[in-house]
């Protein structure tokens, strides 16, 4: 492609994407396609093209394809999983990053990009009130950010010998980590991959607000110590995936300090809410964490992928990840990200976040995060006012609720009614998803199947919240008419 062809194709692509962004609110949020239909549209066994084709035509066709057959997390009524509306400046940042294509594994491959990543890490730490001077790096998302911190914790707590001798070669009892039952499934992957096994996880119970019970944590640690086990890590949630619950971080930090355990905070979703002054009090204790995972591709509206691991003491990352093979002789005075994490060749994920932080600044983010929280709250209040919706939980920008036919409202405690409501709401969610107007996900709270909405989206408006109760109630009532067993008539 000549520079001129690149210019033409690029202009055309940007024009088409700008038109797409304009049209987005009026497109269906989900395409309503089945896996079978997509298979027929793009058969995996299509032969590889033998000869090349005009790039503008390929790009045009691809924009058409993706516009017709995608679920849009940038859509104002995408309220399902925690993937945000991508900030347009971040989209341009991805384009710029791909064109420069620095390999941010070693300083020499990316002098400016390395410096930008380092600066972005400090900006993110400052945004959430985490101590400056921490180390950190960009990774693919929350799973890997938490895993990175888990590995750092394991090495720091067990000691250097672990890296050569493995778990079998270390003494001191079985490693144990502690997390609320509501913790995201990354912790199972981490315990498994790191050789501890998922049985090493002590799942601690939660209170009625889905926050970890601190007394139960203390008792479990004591019991494990007496049994000769080796507690090493406590995970606190700064916003759980299901209901946005924030564990009592201050108390967890204190327990960790008393027992000399590593305190990790999973702030992949909610960590950035610590920047909002009226939320900061609930997040107190986060600044005492040894490590924290935060995901710019969630509440900083970065296009996928952008997760971030922060570790208070930079030595802990280096001691967990650094090796010095003879074929890499990098300048030891510089940051070489290969020494701080899992990846060697690394893309320039920081750029889209660095640009967005400058575009809107701290105040812009505080305002947008605050708006998202207010929208989820507004929906909770609207649900409270209706006799056919039952609000179940609200924290940060997540609200969980369910449809309850008015004549069953006084009977929700009866087991057959509870089980019917679970299947009714499950069908309701599926029907909503297929319809393409709103996209919600679900949570299970104390055995109750709940519809769940999460707003991490600067495009969602109050009007989107105000219209939703009626949409859910209409669908719910229709389905109830079709599904209600005669025994519950």
CB of 305 to ligand PLP, least distance (A): 7
- Region from 118-126, 136-144, 225-233, 278-286 binding ligand PLP, contact rule CB under 6 A: 136-144
By beta-carbon proximity to ligand PLP, the closer residue of 266 and 464 is 266
Name the one residue in this structure whose structure tokens are 């101590």: 131
Q: CB atoms < 10 A from the CB of 80, how many?
A: 21
- Region from 70-78, 85-93, 206-214, 266-274 binding ligand PLP, contact rule CB under 6 A: 266-274
CB of 272 to ligand PLP, least distance (A): 12
The number of angstroms, rounded, from the C-alpha of 32 to the middle of its chain's C-alpha atoms is 24
Edge-first strand order for the sheet with 78-79 is: 78-79, 439-445, 448-454, 398-403, 389-395
Name the one residue in this structure whose structure tokens are 């979703």: 269
Element (H, E) at 435: helix 415-435
Residues in region 40-99 near ligand PLP by CB under 6 A:
82
Site track 171-200 with ligand PLP (rule: CB under 6 A), x = hit: -------------x-x--------------
Judged by CB under 6 A, does residue 288 bind ligand PLP?
no
Judged by CB under 6 A, does residue 269 bind ligand PLP?
yes
CB of 241 to ligand PLP, least distance (A): 3
* Out of 94, 266, 388, 464, the residue judged to bind ligand PLP by CB under 6 A: 266
Q: Look at residues 133, 33, 123, 132 and name the one whose alpha carbon lies nearest to residue 357.
A: 123
Judged by CB under 6 A, does residue 449 bind ligand PLP?
no
Structure tokens at 155: 């090495």
Site track 341-380 with ligand PLP (rule: CB under 6 A), x = hit: ----------------------------------------
Structure tokens at 228: 């000769």
- Cα angle 309, 266, 340; round to 5: 15
Residues in region 291-310 near ligand PLP by CB under 6 A:
295, 307
By beta-carbon proximity to ligand PLP, the closer residue of 296 and 469 is 296
Instruction: Report which residue's Cβ sits closest to ligand PLP.
Output: 142
Residues in region 224-263 near ligand PLP by CB under 6 A:
239-241
Element (H, E) at 263: strand 262-267
In angstroms, the CA 437 to CA 279 distance is 31
> CB-based burial of residue 378 (10 Å sphere; 0-12 exposed, 13-18 middle, 19+ buried)?
middle
By beta-carbon proximity to ligand PLP, the closer residue of 106 and 396 is 396
CB of 264 to ligand PLP, least distance (A): 11
The number of angstroms, rounded, from the C-alpha of 411 to the middle of its chain's C-alpha atoms is 36
Helix ranges, 85-203 (H): 88-100, 111-128, 142-158, 161-165, 186-193
CB of 253 to ligand PLP, least distance (A): 18
In angstroms, the CA 279 to CA 209 distance is 16
For residue 327, the number of C-alpha atoms closer than 13 Å in the C-beta half-sphere is 1
Site size toward ligand PLP, by CB under 6 A: 15
CB of 94 to ligand PLP, least distance (A): 17
* Out of 141, 231, 296, 405, the residue judged to bind ligand PLP by CB under 6 A: 141
By beta-carbon proximity to ligand PLP, the closer residue of 77 and 264 is 264
In angstroms, the CA 443 to CA 428 distance is 14
The number of angstroms, rounded, from the C-alpha of 26 to the middle of its chain's C-alpha atoms is 26
- Residues forming contacts to ligand PLP in the complex (CB under 6 A) are 82, 141-143, 146, 184, 186, 239-241, 266, 268-269, 295, 307
């Amino acid at each position: 492609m000549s520079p001129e062809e690149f210019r033409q194709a690029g202009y055309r692509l940007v024009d088409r994407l700008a038109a797409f962004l304009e049209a987005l609110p009026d497109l269906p949020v989900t395409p309503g396609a089945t896996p079978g239909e997509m298979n027929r549209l793009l058969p995996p066994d299509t032969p590889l093209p033998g000869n090349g084709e005009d790039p503008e035509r390929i790009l045009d066709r691809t924009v058409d394809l993706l516009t017709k057959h995608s679920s849009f997390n940038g859509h104002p009524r995408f309220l399902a999983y925690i993937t945000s509306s991508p900030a347009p400046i971040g989209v341009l940042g991805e384009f710029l990053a791909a064109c420069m294509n620095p390999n941010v594994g070693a300083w020499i491959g990316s002098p400016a990009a390395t410096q930008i990543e380092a600066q972005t890490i400090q900006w993110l730490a400052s945004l959430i009130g985490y101590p400056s001077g921490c180390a950190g790096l960009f990774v693919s998302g929350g799973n890997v950010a938490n895993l990175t911190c888990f590995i750092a914790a394991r090495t720091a707590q067990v000691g250097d010998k672990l890296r050569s001798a493995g778990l079998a070669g270390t003494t001191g009892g079985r490693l144990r980590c502690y997390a609320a039952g509501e913790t995201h499934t990354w912790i199972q992957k981490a315990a498994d991959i790191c050789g501890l096994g998922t049985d090493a996880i002590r799942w601690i119970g939660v209170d009625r607000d889905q926050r970890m019970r601190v007394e139960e944590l203390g008792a479990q640690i004591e019991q494990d110590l007496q049994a000769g086990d080796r507690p090493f890590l406590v995970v606190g949630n700064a916003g759980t995936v299901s209901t946005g619950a924030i564990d009592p971080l201050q108390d967890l930090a204190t327990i960790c300090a008393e027992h000399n355990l590593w305190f990790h905070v999973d702030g992949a979703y909610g960590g950035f809410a610590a920047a909002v002054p009226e939320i900061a009090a609930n997040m107190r204790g986060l600044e005492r964490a040894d490590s924290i995972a935060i995901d710019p591709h969630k509440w900083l509206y970065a296009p996928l992928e952008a997760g971030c691991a922060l570790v208070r003491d930079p030595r802990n990352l280096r001691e967990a990840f650094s090796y010095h093979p003879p074929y890499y002789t990098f300048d030891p005075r510089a940051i070489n990200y290969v020494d701080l994490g899992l990846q060697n060749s690394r893309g320039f994920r920081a750029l889209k976040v660095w640009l967005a932080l400058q575009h809107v600044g701290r105040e812009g983010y505080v305002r947008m995060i605050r708006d998202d929280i207010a929208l989820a709250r507004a929906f909770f209040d609207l649900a409270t006012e209706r006799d056919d919706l039952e609000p179940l939980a609200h924290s940060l920008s997540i609200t969980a609720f369910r449809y309850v036919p008015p004549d069953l409202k006084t009977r929700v405690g009866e087991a057959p009614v509870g089980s019917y409501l679970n299947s009714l709401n499950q069908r309701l969610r599926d029907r909503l998803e297929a319809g393409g107007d709103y996209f919600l996900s679900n949570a299970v709270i104390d055995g109750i199947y709940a519809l769940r909405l999460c707003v991490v989206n600067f495009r969602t408006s109050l009007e989107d919240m105000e219209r939703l109760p009626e949409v859910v109630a209409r669908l719910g009532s229709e389905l109830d008419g079709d599904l209600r067993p005669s025994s519950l008539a």
